[in-house]
Structure 1
Protein backbone atom coordinates (compact mmCIF):
# COMPACT_ATOMS: atom_id res chain seq x y z
CA UNK A 1 0.00 0.00 0.00
CA UNK A 2 1.36 3.43 -0.95
CA UNK A 3 1.79 5.63 2.12
CA UNK A 4 0.59 9.26 2.07
CA UNK A 5 3.26 11.92 1.61
CA UNK A 6 3.65 13.84 4.84
CA UNK A 7 5.92 16.69 5.97
CA UNK A 8 8.93 15.63 8.01
CA UNK A 9 8.17 14.85 11.66
CA UNK A 10 4.40 14.94 11.00
CA UNK A 11 2.64 13.13 13.85
CA UNK A 12 0.08 11.73 11.39
CA UNK A 13 2.75 9.33 10.13
CA UNK A 14 2.20 7.22 13.25
CA UNK A 15 -1.43 6.67 12.30
CA UNK A 16 -0.28 5.71 8.79
CA UNK A 17 2.11 3.18 10.38
CA UNK A 18 -0.18 1.95 13.16
CA UNK A 19 0.28 -1.68 12.14
CA UNK A 20 4.05 -1.53 12.58
CA UNK A 21 4.38 -1.06 16.34
CA UNK A 22 4.60 -4.69 17.42
CA UNK A 23 5.93 -6.34 14.26
CA UNK A 24 9.38 -7.81 15.02
CA UNK A 25 10.23 -7.41 11.33
CA UNK A 26 8.56 -4.02 10.99
CA UNK A 27 9.54 -0.38 10.64
CA UNK A 28 9.57 0.18 14.40
CA UNK A 29 11.66 -2.88 15.30
CA UNK A 30 14.62 -0.76 16.40
CA UNK A 31 12.33 1.27 18.67
CA UNK A 32 11.50 -1.97 20.48
CA UNK A 33 15.21 -2.78 20.89
CA UNK A 34 15.87 0.73 22.24
CA UNK A 35 12.88 0.47 24.60
CA UNK A 36 14.27 -2.78 26.01
CA UNK A 37 17.59 -1.03 26.68
CA UNK A 38 15.79 1.89 28.34
CA UNK A 39 13.79 -0.51 30.49
CA UNK A 40 17.01 -2.01 31.84
CA UNK A 41 17.78 1.39 33.36
CA UNK A 42 14.52 1.41 35.35
CA UNK A 43 14.93 -0.13 38.83
CA UNK A 44 12.16 -1.96 40.70
CA UNK A 45 9.49 0.35 42.10
CA UNK A 46 10.72 2.07 45.27
CA UNK A 47 7.33 2.03 46.99
CA UNK A 48 3.81 0.63 46.65
CA UNK A 49 1.79 2.56 44.09
CA UNK A 50 4.84 3.95 42.32
CA UNK A 51 4.15 5.61 38.97
CA UNK A 52 6.18 5.45 35.76
CA UNK A 53 5.20 8.12 33.24
CA UNK A 54 6.17 7.11 29.70
CA UNK A 55 6.26 10.23 27.52
CA UNK A 56 5.87 9.59 23.81
CA UNK A 57 4.86 6.03 24.68
CA UNK A 58 3.74 5.15 21.15
CA UNK A 59 2.29 1.66 21.04
CA UNK A 60 3.60 0.84 24.52
CA UNK A 61 6.92 -0.76 23.54
CA UNK A 62 8.40 -0.07 26.98
CA UNK A 63 5.75 -2.20 28.69
CA UNK A 64 7.46 -5.62 28.40
CA UNK A 65 10.71 -4.17 29.72
CA UNK A 66 9.15 -2.82 32.93
CA UNK A 67 6.49 -5.47 33.51
CA UNK A 68 6.81 -6.97 36.96
CA UNK A 69 8.81 -4.05 38.37
CA UNK A 70 5.83 -2.79 40.36
CA UNK A 71 4.90 0.45 38.61
CA UNK A 72 1.62 1.82 37.42
CA UNK A 73 2.64 2.50 33.82
CA UNK A 74 1.10 5.73 32.47
CA UNK A 75 1.68 6.43 28.78
CA UNK A 76 1.38 9.88 27.23
CA UNK A 77 1.11 10.40 23.48
CA UNK A 78 -0.77 12.46 20.91
CA UNK A 79 -1.59 9.53 18.61
CA UNK A 80 -4.88 7.79 19.40
CA UNK A 81 -4.10 4.66 17.39
CA UNK A 82 -0.83 4.22 19.27
CA UNK A 83 -2.47 4.77 22.67
CA UNK A 84 -5.06 2.09 21.87
CA UNK A 85 -2.23 -0.40 21.37
CA UNK A 86 -0.44 0.80 24.49
CA UNK A 87 -3.63 0.22 26.51
CA UNK A 88 -3.79 -3.35 25.18
CA UNK A 89 -0.32 -3.91 26.67
CA UNK A 90 -1.22 -2.73 30.15
CA UNK A 91 -0.43 0.97 29.83
CA UNK A 92 -2.81 3.60 31.23
CA UNK A 93 -3.19 5.97 28.24
CA UNK A 94 -3.23 9.77 28.43
CA UNK A 95 -3.62 11.79 25.23
CA UNK A 96 -1.70 15.01 25.75
CA UNK A 97 1.01 17.34 24.50
CA UNK A 98 4.26 16.72 26.39
CA UNK A 99 4.75 20.46 26.86
CA UNK A 100 1.41 20.73 28.71
CA UNK A 101 1.02 17.57 30.73
CA UNK A 102 -2.28 17.11 32.62
CA UNK A 103 -0.35 15.54 35.51
CA UNK A 104 0.37 16.79 39.02
CA UNK A 105 3.70 18.18 40.17
CA UNK A 106 5.95 15.45 41.55
CA UNK A 107 3.57 12.61 40.65
CA UNK A 108 6.12 10.35 38.93
CA UNK A 109 8.72 8.09 40.49
CA UNK A 110 10.18 7.51 37.01
CA UNK A 111 9.79 9.53 33.82
CA UNK A 112 10.76 7.87 30.55
CA UNK A 113 11.27 9.99 27.44
CA UNK A 114 12.36 7.52 24.81
CA UNK A 115 12.92 8.58 21.20
CA UNK A 116 10.88 11.69 21.96
CA UNK A 117 13.16 14.70 22.34
CA UNK A 118 14.28 14.62 18.68
CA UNK A 119 10.62 15.09 17.71
CA UNK A 120 9.56 18.04 19.91
CA UNK A 121 9.75 21.61 18.67
CA UNK A 122 9.87 23.01 22.23
CA UNK A 123 12.62 21.00 23.86
CA UNK A 124 13.16 23.37 26.84
CA UNK A 125 9.43 23.27 27.56
CA UNK A 126 9.41 19.48 27.36
CA UNK A 127 12.39 19.15 29.71
CA UNK A 128 10.71 21.54 32.14
CA UNK A 129 7.57 19.36 32.17
CA UNK A 130 9.61 16.17 32.64
CA UNK A 131 11.25 17.70 35.70
CA UNK A 132 8.02 19.22 37.03
CA UNK A 133 6.20 15.90 37.24
CA UNK A 134 9.24 14.05 38.66
CA UNK A 135 9.15 13.63 42.42
CA UNK A 136 12.23 14.60 44.47
CA UNK A 137 14.66 11.71 44.22
CA UNK A 138 12.82 10.40 41.15
CA UNK A 139 14.56 8.99 38.10
CA UNK A 140 14.45 10.20 34.49
CA UNK A 141 15.58 7.95 31.62
CA UNK A 142 15.89 9.20 28.05
CA UNK A 143 17.27 8.24 24.70
CA UNK A 144 17.50 10.44 21.64
CA UNK A 145 19.45 11.26 18.49
CA UNK A 146 22.53 13.47 18.53
CA UNK A 147 22.85 16.75 16.67
CA UNK A 148 25.84 15.70 14.55
CA UNK A 149 26.60 15.36 10.85
CA UNK A 150 27.18 11.61 11.30
CA UNK A 151 23.78 11.14 12.94
CA UNK A 152 22.02 13.11 10.22
CA UNK A 153 23.74 11.01 7.57
CA UNK A 154 22.91 7.66 9.22
CA UNK A 155 19.38 8.51 10.39
CA UNK A 156 18.24 10.33 7.25
CA UNK A 157 20.42 9.46 4.26
CA UNK A 158 20.98 5.80 5.18
CA UNK A 159 18.19 4.55 7.47
CA UNK A 160 15.34 6.18 5.52
CA UNK A 161 16.56 4.65 2.25
CA UNK A 162 17.28 1.19 3.60
CA UNK A 163 14.66 -1.48 2.74
CA UNK A 164 12.61 -1.97 5.89
CA UNK A 165 14.47 0.85 7.62
CA UNK A 166 13.17 3.99 9.29
CA UNK A 167 10.03 5.44 7.67
CA UNK A 168 10.78 8.20 5.17
CA UNK A 169 10.39 11.60 6.82
CA UNK A 170 9.91 10.30 10.36
CA UNK A 171 12.65 12.63 11.65
CA UNK A 172 13.48 16.29 11.20
CA UNK A 173 17.27 16.55 11.59
CA UNK A 174 16.94 20.16 12.73
CA UNK A 175 15.47 18.80 15.98
CA UNK A 176 18.31 16.43 16.84
CA UNK A 177 19.72 17.03 20.32
CA UNK A 178 23.25 17.90 21.45
CA UNK A 179 23.92 15.86 24.63
CA UNK A 180 25.79 18.73 26.32
CA UNK A 181 22.88 21.11 25.66
CA UNK A 182 20.40 18.57 26.99
CA UNK A 183 22.48 17.95 30.12
CA UNK A 184 22.56 21.69 30.79
CA UNK A 185 18.79 21.99 30.33
CA UNK A 186 18.13 19.24 32.86
CA UNK A 187 20.64 20.77 35.29
CA UNK A 188 18.65 24.02 35.29
CA UNK A 189 15.76 22.04 36.77
CA UNK A 190 17.79 20.21 39.41
CA UNK A 191 18.34 16.95 37.51
CA UNK A 192 21.91 15.74 37.03
CA UNK A 193 21.81 13.85 33.73
CA UNK A 194 24.55 11.37 32.81
CA UNK A 195 24.74 10.31 29.17
CA UNK A 196 26.35 7.49 27.21
CA UNK A 197 26.24 6.27 23.64
CA UNK A 198 24.07 3.39 22.48
CA UNK A 199 24.27 1.23 19.37
CA UNK A 200 22.85 -2.06 18.07
CA UNK A 201 24.97 -5.18 18.40
CA UNK A 202 26.58 -5.49 14.98
CA UNK A 203 26.09 -9.23 14.49
CA UNK A 204 22.45 -9.05 15.54
CA UNK A 205 21.78 -6.05 13.30
CA UNK A 206 23.32 -7.70 10.25
CA UNK A 207 21.32 -10.88 10.89
CA UNK A 208 18.10 -8.89 11.24
CA UNK A 209 18.76 -6.89 8.07
CA UNK A 210 19.27 -10.09 6.09
CA UNK A 211 16.56 -12.30 7.63
CA UNK A 212 14.19 -9.87 9.42
CA UNK A 213 14.28 -12.33 12.32
CA UNK A 214 15.40 -12.05 15.91
CA UNK A 215 16.58 -8.82 17.49
CA UNK A 216 19.70 -6.70 17.66
CA UNK A 217 20.31 -5.97 21.35
CA UNK A 218 21.35 -2.40 22.05
CA UNK A 219 24.71 -2.07 23.79
CA UNK A 220 26.48 0.91 25.40
CA UNK A 221 29.27 2.63 23.50
CA UNK A 222 31.69 5.45 24.24
CA UNK A 223 30.48 7.51 21.28
CA UNK A 224 27.47 9.80 21.67
CA UNK A 225 27.58 11.00 18.06
CA UNK A 226 24.50 9.07 16.87
CA UNK A 227 22.20 7.60 19.53
CA UNK A 228 22.61 8.15 23.25
CA UNK A 229 20.91 7.39 26.57
CA UNK A 230 20.60 9.61 29.62
CA UNK A 231 19.82 8.84 33.27
CA UNK A 232 19.34 11.40 36.03
CA UNK A 233 17.76 11.98 39.42
CA UNK A 234 15.92 15.01 40.63
CA UNK A 235 17.56 16.50 43.70
CA UNK A 236 15.82 15.71 46.98
Structure 2
Protein backbone atom coordinates (compact mmCIF):
# COMPACT_ATOMS: atom_id res chain seq x y z
CA UNK A 1 0.00 0.00 0.00
CA UNK A 2 1.43 3.38 -0.95
CA UNK A 3 1.75 6.17 1.60
CA UNK A 4 -0.90 8.21 -0.18
CA UNK A 5 -3.44 5.41 -0.44
CA UNK A 6 -5.86 5.10 2.46
CA UNK A 7 -6.54 1.51 3.51
CA UNK A 8 -10.27 2.07 3.91
CA UNK A 9 -13.45 1.55 1.93
CA UNK A 10 -15.51 4.78 1.73
CA UNK A 11 -18.73 2.76 1.51
CA UNK A 12 -17.85 0.89 4.71
CA UNK A 13 -17.06 4.14 6.53
CA UNK A 14 -20.33 5.68 5.36
CA UNK A 15 -22.32 2.58 6.36
CA UNK A 16 -21.17 2.72 9.97
CA UNK A 17 -21.37 6.50 9.99
CA UNK A 18 -25.08 6.39 9.18
CA UNK A 19 -25.69 4.13 12.19
CA UNK A 20 -23.42 6.04 14.57
CA UNK A 21 -26.24 7.54 16.63
CA UNK A 22 -27.41 4.00 17.48
CA UNK A 23 -24.01 2.75 18.71
CA UNK A 24 -24.75 2.84 22.42
CA UNK A 25 -28.31 1.48 22.18
CA UNK A 26 -27.98 -2.03 23.65
CA UNK A 27 -31.17 -3.08 21.86
CA UNK A 28 -30.32 -1.47 18.50
CA UNK A 29 -28.27 -2.47 15.48
CA UNK A 30 -25.12 -2.87 17.57
CA UNK A 31 -26.71 -5.15 20.16
CA UNK A 32 -24.33 -8.03 19.27
CA UNK A 33 -21.33 -5.81 20.05
CA UNK A 34 -22.75 -5.02 23.48
CA UNK A 35 -23.44 -8.70 24.10
CA UNK A 36 -20.01 -9.99 23.07
CA UNK A 37 -18.03 -7.16 24.66
CA UNK A 38 -17.79 -8.75 28.14
CA UNK A 39 -16.45 -11.93 26.51
CA UNK A 40 -13.85 -10.01 24.50
CA UNK A 41 -12.86 -7.87 27.47
CA UNK A 42 -12.40 -10.79 29.88
CA UNK A 43 -10.42 -12.74 27.27
CA UNK A 44 -8.08 -9.78 26.66
CA UNK A 45 -7.74 -9.06 30.39
CA UNK A 46 -6.91 -12.71 31.03
CA UNK A 47 -3.91 -12.55 28.70
CA UNK A 48 -2.73 -8.96 29.15
CA UNK A 49 -2.50 -6.73 32.21
CA UNK A 50 -4.84 -3.80 31.56
CA UNK A 51 -4.47 -1.65 34.72
CA UNK A 52 -1.85 1.00 33.97
CA UNK A 53 -1.25 -0.28 30.44
CA UNK A 54 -1.09 1.89 27.32
CA UNK A 55 -3.71 0.41 25.00
CA UNK A 56 -4.62 1.15 21.39
CA UNK A 57 -8.02 0.12 20.01
CA UNK A 58 -7.89 0.07 16.20
CA UNK A 59 -11.22 0.53 14.43
CA UNK A 60 -12.82 1.55 17.72
CA UNK A 61 -16.12 2.72 16.20
CA UNK A 62 -18.38 4.14 18.89
CA UNK A 63 -16.01 3.09 21.65
CA UNK A 64 -17.67 0.09 23.31
CA UNK A 65 -14.45 -1.90 23.80
CA UNK A 66 -12.19 1.14 24.25
CA UNK A 67 -14.36 2.52 27.04
CA UNK A 68 -14.60 -0.82 28.83
CA UNK A 69 -10.80 -1.24 28.77
CA UNK A 70 -10.39 2.28 30.20
CA UNK A 71 -12.78 1.30 32.99
CA UNK A 72 -10.43 -1.59 33.76
CA UNK A 73 -7.64 0.92 34.41
CA UNK A 74 -5.91 1.14 31.04
CA UNK A 75 -4.86 4.35 29.28
CA UNK A 76 -6.70 3.91 26.00
CA UNK A 77 -6.45 5.57 22.60
CA UNK A 78 -9.22 4.62 20.18
CA UNK A 79 -8.70 5.29 16.46
CA UNK A 80 -11.06 5.06 13.52
CA UNK A 81 -11.56 6.64 10.09
CA UNK A 82 -15.33 7.04 10.38
CA UNK A 83 -15.99 10.52 11.76
CA UNK A 84 -19.50 10.11 13.16
CA UNK A 85 -18.84 7.03 15.33
CA UNK A 86 -15.75 8.76 16.75
CA UNK A 87 -17.84 11.78 17.74
CA UNK A 88 -20.35 9.44 19.39
CA UNK A 89 -17.51 7.73 21.26
CA UNK A 90 -16.11 11.06 22.46
CA UNK A 91 -19.51 12.28 23.59
CA UNK A 92 -20.30 9.06 25.44
CA UNK A 93 -16.96 9.17 27.26
CA UNK A 94 -17.69 12.75 28.33
CA UNK A 95 -21.20 11.89 29.48
CA UNK A 96 -20.06 8.91 31.52
CA UNK A 97 -16.92 10.52 32.90
CA UNK A 98 -14.50 7.81 31.81
CA UNK A 99 -10.90 8.82 32.43
CA UNK A 100 -7.69 7.90 30.57
CA UNK A 101 -9.55 7.62 27.27
CA UNK A 102 -9.00 9.59 24.08
CA UNK A 103 -9.92 9.23 20.42
CA UNK A 104 -8.33 10.21 17.15
CA UNK A 105 -9.33 10.04 13.49
CA UNK A 106 -6.22 8.54 11.93
CA UNK A 107 -5.24 5.50 9.85
CA UNK A 108 -3.44 2.80 11.78
CA UNK A 109 -0.64 2.81 9.20
CA UNK A 110 -0.07 6.53 9.75
CA UNK A 111 -0.06 6.13 13.52
CA UNK A 112 2.48 3.29 13.18
CA UNK A 113 4.87 5.64 11.41
CA UNK A 114 4.34 8.30 14.10
CA UNK A 115 4.40 6.17 17.24
CA UNK A 116 6.12 2.81 16.71
CA UNK A 117 6.44 0.50 19.73
CA UNK A 118 4.27 2.79 21.89
CA UNK A 119 1.58 0.48 23.27
CA UNK A 120 1.52 -2.44 25.69
CA UNK A 121 -1.66 -3.79 24.12
CA UNK A 122 -3.20 -3.31 20.67
CA UNK A 123 -6.72 -4.52 19.89
CA UNK A 124 -8.33 -4.72 16.46
CA UNK A 125 -11.77 -6.30 16.74
CA UNK A 126 -14.37 -6.85 14.00
CA UNK A 127 -12.47 -4.49 11.71
CA UNK A 128 -10.19 -6.52 9.41
CA UNK A 129 -13.11 -7.82 7.33
CA UNK A 130 -14.05 -4.23 6.43
CA UNK A 131 -10.75 -3.01 4.91
CA UNK A 132 -9.22 -3.59 1.45
CA UNK A 133 -5.83 -4.73 2.80
CA UNK A 134 -6.11 -6.48 6.17
CA UNK A 135 -2.45 -7.56 6.09
CA UNK A 136 -1.47 -3.87 6.11
CA UNK A 137 -3.49 -3.33 9.29
CA UNK A 138 -1.85 -6.36 10.94
CA UNK A 139 1.62 -5.05 10.05
CA UNK A 140 0.79 -1.64 11.50
CA UNK A 141 -0.54 -3.20 14.72
CA UNK A 142 2.69 -5.19 15.03
CA UNK A 143 4.73 -2.00 14.61
CA UNK A 144 2.69 -0.14 17.23
CA UNK A 145 3.00 -2.66 20.04
CA UNK A 146 6.02 -2.64 22.35
CA UNK A 147 8.39 -5.62 22.40
CA UNK A 148 6.80 -8.18 24.71
CA UNK A 149 3.38 -6.60 24.19
CA UNK A 150 0.16 -8.22 23.04
CA UNK A 151 -1.95 -7.78 19.91
CA UNK A 152 -5.54 -9.06 19.73
CA UNK A 153 -7.63 -9.54 16.60
CA UNK A 154 -11.13 -10.81 15.92
CA UNK A 155 -12.80 -11.41 12.58
CA UNK A 156 -14.87 -13.91 10.58
CA UNK A 157 -13.78 -17.16 8.97
CA UNK A 158 -14.40 -17.67 5.24
CA UNK A 159 -16.33 -20.87 4.58
CA UNK A 160 -19.92 -21.91 3.79
CA UNK A 161 -20.90 -22.14 7.48
CA UNK A 162 -19.66 -18.60 8.14
CA UNK A 163 -21.65 -17.33 5.14
CA UNK A 164 -24.75 -19.12 6.41
CA UNK A 165 -24.42 -17.96 10.01
CA UNK A 166 -22.89 -14.49 9.70
CA UNK A 167 -24.72 -13.22 6.62
CA UNK A 168 -27.83 -15.29 5.94
CA UNK A 169 -28.60 -15.97 9.60
CA UNK A 170 -27.39 -12.87 11.42
CA UNK A 171 -28.37 -10.28 8.78
CA UNK A 172 -31.39 -11.75 6.98
CA UNK A 173 -33.09 -14.31 9.23
CA UNK A 174 -32.44 -13.23 12.82
CA UNK A 175 -31.90 -9.53 12.15
CA UNK A 176 -28.97 -9.40 14.57
CA UNK A 177 -27.08 -7.09 12.21
CA UNK A 178 -28.18 -4.63 9.50
CA UNK A 179 -28.31 -6.16 6.01
CA UNK A 180 -25.09 -5.48 4.14
CA UNK A 181 -22.94 -5.34 7.29
CA UNK A 182 -20.58 -7.97 5.92
CA UNK A 183 -19.20 -8.95 2.53
CA UNK A 184 -18.34 -12.64 2.35
CA UNK A 185 -15.34 -12.19 0.03
CA UNK A 186 -13.62 -10.15 2.75
CA UNK A 187 -13.87 -12.84 5.42
CA UNK A 188 -10.45 -14.14 6.52
CA UNK A 189 -9.47 -17.74 7.26
CA UNK A 190 -7.60 -18.29 10.53
CA UNK A 191 -4.62 -19.65 8.60
CA UNK A 192 -4.50 -16.42 6.58
CA UNK A 193 -4.69 -14.18 9.63
CA UNK A 194 -2.03 -16.24 11.41
CA UNK A 195 0.20 -15.87 8.35
CA UNK A 196 -0.34 -12.11 8.31
CA UNK A 197 0.70 -12.04 11.96
CA UNK A 198 3.82 -14.15 11.50
CA UNK A 199 4.83 -12.15 8.41
CA UNK A 200 4.56 -9.02 10.58
CA UNK A 201 6.89 -10.51 13.19
CA UNK A 202 4.26 -11.57 15.71
CA UNK A 203 4.14 -14.86 17.57
CA UNK A 204 0.74 -16.58 17.52
CA UNK A 205 -0.31 -17.19 21.09
CA UNK A 206 -3.92 -18.34 21.28
CA UNK A 207 -6.97 -18.72 19.06
CA UNK A 208 -10.57 -18.90 20.27
CA UNK A 209 -13.90 -19.24 18.55
CA UNK A 210 -17.07 -17.37 19.45
CA UNK A 211 -20.41 -19.14 19.21
CA UNK A 212 -24.02 -18.00 19.48
CA UNK A 213 -27.24 -19.78 20.35
CA UNK A 214 -30.20 -17.94 18.76
CA UNK A 215 -32.69 -19.65 21.10
CA UNK A 216 -31.02 -18.58 24.33
CA UNK A 217 -29.40 -15.49 22.73
CA UNK A 218 -26.18 -16.41 24.48
CA UNK A 219 -22.60 -16.00 23.22
CA UNK A 220 -19.62 -17.96 24.52
CA UNK A 221 -15.99 -18.67 23.66
CA UNK A 222 -15.01 -22.13 22.48
CA UNK A 223 -12.44 -24.02 20.42
CA UNK A 224 -14.63 -23.83 17.30
CA UNK A 225 -13.24 -21.17 14.96
CA UNK A 226 -15.43 -21.90 11.93
CA UNK A 227 -17.45 -18.64 12.13
CA UNK A 228 -16.31 -15.88 14.52
CA UNK A 229 -12.84 -16.21 16.00
CA UNK A 230 -10.28 -14.28 18.05
CA UNK A 231 -6.49 -14.40 17.76
CA UNK A 232 -3.98 -13.37 20.44
CA UNK A 233 -0.42 -12.55 19.37
CA UNK A 234 2.75 -11.38 21.08
CA UNK A 235 5.59 -9.25 19.78
CA UNK A 236 8.85 -10.96 20.81
CA UNK A 237 10.75 -9.04 23.47
Superposition TM-score tier, normalisation by shorter sequence: 0.7 to 0.9
In 1, the alpha carbon distance for the partners of 2:12 and 2:69 equals 29
1:129 to 1:108, Cα distance in 2 relative to 1, 3 A: same
After TM superposition, list the pairs within 5 Å mapping 1:36-55 onto structure 2: 36-40=38-42, 41-42=44-45, 43-45=48-50, 48=52, 50-55=53-58
Q: Does 1:187 align with 2:192?
A: no
After TM superposition, list the pairs within 5 Å mapping 1:1-236 onto structure 2: 10-40=12-42, 41-42=44-45, 43-45=48-50, 48=52, 50-87=53-90, 88-89=92-93, 90=98, 91-101=101-111, 103-162=114-173, 164-193=175-204, 194-200=206-212, 202=213, 205-208=214-217, 216=218, 218-236=219-237
Q: Is the 8 A contact 2:57 2:66 kept in 1?
A: no
Extract unaligned runs of 5+ from structure 2: 1-8
Give the RMSD, CA atoms, in angstroms. 2.1
Greater shift in the superposed pair: 59-68 or 73-82: 59-68
In 2, the alpha carbon distance for the partners of 1:30 and 1:176 equals 18
Q: Is the 8 A contact 1:27 1:167 kept in 2?
A: yes
In 2, the alpha carbon distance for the partners of 1:33 and 1:8 equals 27
Following superposition, which runs of at least 4 residues in structure 1 exceed 4 angstroms of deviation? none
Greater shift in the superposed pair: 170-179 or 60-69: 60-69
Extract unaligned runs of 5+ from structure 1: 1-6, 209-215
Instruction: Give me the TM-score of the superposition, normalised by structure 2.
Output: 0.83
Q: Is the 8 A contact 2:12 2:130 kept in 1?
A: no
In 2, the alpha carbon distance for the partners of 1:100 and 1:164 equals 36
In 2, the alpha carbon distance for the partners of 1:63 and 1:94 equals 12
Who is 1:213 aligned against? none
Instruction: Give me the TM-score of the superposition, normalised by structure 1.
Output: 0.84
1:45 to 1:18, Cα distance in 2 relative to 1, 3 A: closer
Greater RCO between the two (CA within 8 Å, min separation 6)? Answer: 1
